[in-house]
Chains A and B, each alone.
Chain A
């Protein structure tokens, strides 16, 4: 047992040290003498950046959490026409990368977009383009809300399905009203689950590059990019990244505290829910709301992409498409598998050890997930150059570097899934197995691993979906002649040819949706 603990401990700490080594480069800047330009950034840029980032992150995470939680609550507690289909479809917006959604909606609402041109040309209405203006902040919040709410939907749905039953029956016996149950029972009960989803959304928004760049929102990732690229001041860029990381660590620590089990123990026996059948106006209202949410988050973007694919089909280069697709799939698979392996090691360590080192290790995995990919890319290059001074390695950007960078970047996401899966499984099966004479490792592989399969698969799929759409790391670290679907989308979009980016975008969405579909089937099976 002790051997196993140290095995997992050592292998986790090796990784953690590696991550820390990569990120100290950024933290070290906080204590170094600032560059000349820092004064300028501090005076004219920093406060805007902090305000905008906070506004964007808090509002989008809040709105997305609200939609996600309410949708989960309704699907869990009530029964209505189409409940099963809705409860399934609500996962799918996760397949749409936020930056692609931002391209689509900006373009659609624009003067040449389908909406205005339809009103103008087909209906001959006098359309005032001013009706369709919006600030980039509004668009950013909108895009993140509609693409990321499934995170909270997933976490809170699973949680409520499991634990709400017991309380709900009692509340109903006591004749509590609908809203009262929602407010006094479901919401407090699901808070840890909501906050887990909220954190994922917040991290996703904080590290986003595509949306804020495209919409030109002065947030951390744009400021970091600008200091580094436009001002050529890598030092200040790292300093900004370090400040961002402090935000992130604070957020993670808050989540850690909130997640602590409450003093009232969870009921051991899980009672299944009897759903309340909605009828009449209530049923219609619920269905209308769901249709609306799905229309905006799924149907409209996909339809628009299909329409654009139709017109741009002849104008895109097809010769490299097959290779691009293979690259995308290979890279995403390799990275996801690697992340799962490392995550399993670290999760075992935190399971076996309650030391502060273990807790810290688990938090550190999330660092990469929360800072912009372009910063991770730079740090990875630094790291490889540093390593080269000790042993000879190839520092030319290769798939090794890209793979390493992507692992650093998304380890946290995979880890969170494995860890929560392990917490659900607990130690009891492993202990029982060890009582029967197997050692920890054998017990883990024979007993825990099969139980963890859904979490492993979910982790795999979520990481895969993130890697497949990843931009800055892939752009910065990819080797020669290496294109992925995402780089192709980006290339068309940065040349202001959004319509041509439709086909690769659609393929990314389809692959992600297929994977999600599998995960959803697992999740639904498990939830029930």
Chain B
């Protein structure tokens, strides 16, 4: 009997004892959905250069944001970093973001790429790819061209649960309205080569395998595939032709200071560090993303696909059409 109590007491103490201690060294707490090795190396480098300790929690963007929202009363996060502009509006509506000092940003980046309390760190384009050894002169110029009956059974795209697809459709709703977006989604479903399965890389592989002709995917993955550990993936990436459709959907990866941050100056310092030239160069060279700085050229691989015209959307509003996008996907049975 006594022993049981002692055991329970010990257990309790052990669990309680595991709570982290707080201390006074300069530090910055980061909630990041950018779970890439490149980013981790960058944070380590930041620590070494500035002496500011970086504490990191990783997760998916919307999960982390949900968590920040729950912790609102007693916030621990200083910097939030994620992939996809679709949750900026959630963060703003729930008053989760602190104002940034954006005064220097306009000097080197487009003013679409930052707002009062957020700033883009990289960009990715969602493009159409095909096997260039098989299809010599693709005729597709817009996302809408994919709806042509001649492509019945030829289209490859991942599931509607993918946040990339949700953002793509949400942007389309913002540009063209719900009706046109529904027609597009329905037309895509009609031309699917198969029930959506697999991730972005799988779509590219299936295009090369001939399961379909055209696949929608993010440029980011072409970059990472071309430097994959798996030689077969490198071979697939080498065969991919890239089409930038008119109004190419370009989404951003963004960062912000969390409301109630206890280390706001360290947070600002970290964000500025990520926007600096050397880091932007690393993002494009090593992680296959588009730099946000006008004075940093994209990687040679990206440049080899030619130039494009990105859609002009309001990133802060992207989230407001997101639920509509999810609903459309359900209605047209895009699984």
Do A and B belong to a common assembly? yes
Q: Closest B-chain residue to A216, C-beta based?
A: B159
Q: Is the CB of A106 within 8 A of B198?
A: yes
- Known A232-B90, A476-B59; contact A129-B335, beta-carbon cutoff 8 A: no
What CA separation (Å) do A404 and B36 show in the bound complex?
A: 29
Smallest CB–CB gap between B72 and chain A, Å? 10
Q: Is the CB of A400 within 8 A of B228?
A: no
Q: Does B7 contact A (CB under 8 A)?
A: yes
Q: Is the CB of A311 within 8 A of B35?
A: no
User: Which residues from 211 to 249 on chain A have a C-beta closer than 8 Å to any C-beta of chain B?
Assistant: 213, 215-216, 218, 222, 226, 228-232, 234
Contacts of A117 in B (CB 8 A): 232
Smallest CB–CB gap between A105 and chain B, Å? 12
Q: Closest B-chain residue to A312, C-beta based?
A: B229
Q: Is the CB of A496 within 8 A of B15?
A: no
Size of the chain B interface, CB-CB below 8 angstroms: 69
Q: Closest A-chain residue to B14, C-beta based?
A: A334
Q: Which of A234, A385, A480 has the most CB of B within 10 A?
A: A480
Query: On chain A, which size bracket covers the interface?
Result: 35 or more
Q: Closest B-chain residue to A311, C-beta based?
A: B229
What CA separation (Å) do A112 and B322 show in the bound complex?
A: 34
Smallest CB–CB gap between B64 and chain A, Å? 9
What CA separation (Å) do A218 and B62 show in the bound complex?
A: 19
Q: Is the CB of B330 within 8 A of A44?
A: yes
Partner of A44, one of B14, B195, B206, B331: B331
Q: Does A479 contact B (CB under 8 A)?
A: yes
Q: Is the CB of A341 within 8 A of B63?
A: no
Smallest CB–CB gap between A249 and chain B, Å? 27
Q: Is the CB of B161 within 8 A of A226?
A: yes
- Known A44-B330, A231-B323; contact A403-B229, beta-carbon cutoff 8 A: no
Q: Does A174 contact B (CB under 8 A)?
A: no
- Known A216-B159, A381-B70, A479-B57; contact A495-B197, beta-carbon cutoff 8 A: no
Q: Closest B-chain residue to A344, C-beta based?
A: B4
Q: Does A445 contact B (CB under 8 A)?
A: yes
Q: Is the CB of B11 within 8 A of A337?
A: yes
Q: Is the CB of B3 within 8 A of A445?
A: yes
Q: Mark A312-342, 1 if CB is under 8 A from B, else 0.
A: 1001110000000000000000100110010
Q: Is the CB of B228 within 8 A of A334?
A: no
Contacts of A113 in B (CB 8 A): 232
What CA separation (Å) do A505 and B318 show in the bound complex?
A: 37
Q: Is the CB of B66 within 8 A of A228?
A: yes
Partner of A400, one of B15, B196, B202, B229: B15
Smallest CB–CB gap between A128 and chain B, Å? 8
Q: Closest A-chain residue to B40, C-beta based?
A: A317
Q: Is the CB of A495 within 8 A of B196?
A: no
Q: Is the CB of A399 within 8 A of B19?
A: yes
- Interface stretch (choices B104-112, B141-149, B208-216): B208-216
Smallest CB–CB gap between B186 and chain A, Å? 14
Q: Is the CB of A229 within 8 A of B62?
A: yes
- Interface stretch (choices A21-29, A130-138, A363-371): A130-138
Partner of B206, one of A111, A338, A341, A482: A111
Smallest CB–CB gap between A295 and chain B, Å? 23
Partner of B229, one of A315, A338, A495: A315
Smallest CB–CB gap between B15 and chain A, Å? 5
- Known A7-B1, A111-B209, A317-B37; contact A216-B335, beta-carbon cutoff 8 A: yes
Smallest CB–CB gap between B46 and chain A, Å? 14
- Interface stretch (choices A62-70, A267-275, A390-398): A390-398
Contacts of A398 in B (CB 8 A): 18-20
Partner of A496, one of B58, B74, B200: B200
Contacts of B196 in A (CB 8 A): 216
9 contacts between A and B (CB under 8 A): A37-B323, A135-B195, A213-B161, A229-B60, A230-B62, A337-B11, A478-B57, A487-B58, A500-B229
> Using a CB–CB distance below 8 Å, which chain A residues touch chain B?
7, 37, 40, 44-45, 106, 110-113, 116-117, 129-130, 133, 135-136, 213, 215-216, 218, 222, 226, 228-232, 234, 308, 311-312, 315-317, 334, 337-338, 341, 345, 374, 381, 385, 394-400, 403-404, 441, 445, 475-476, 478-483, 487, 491, 494-497, 499-500
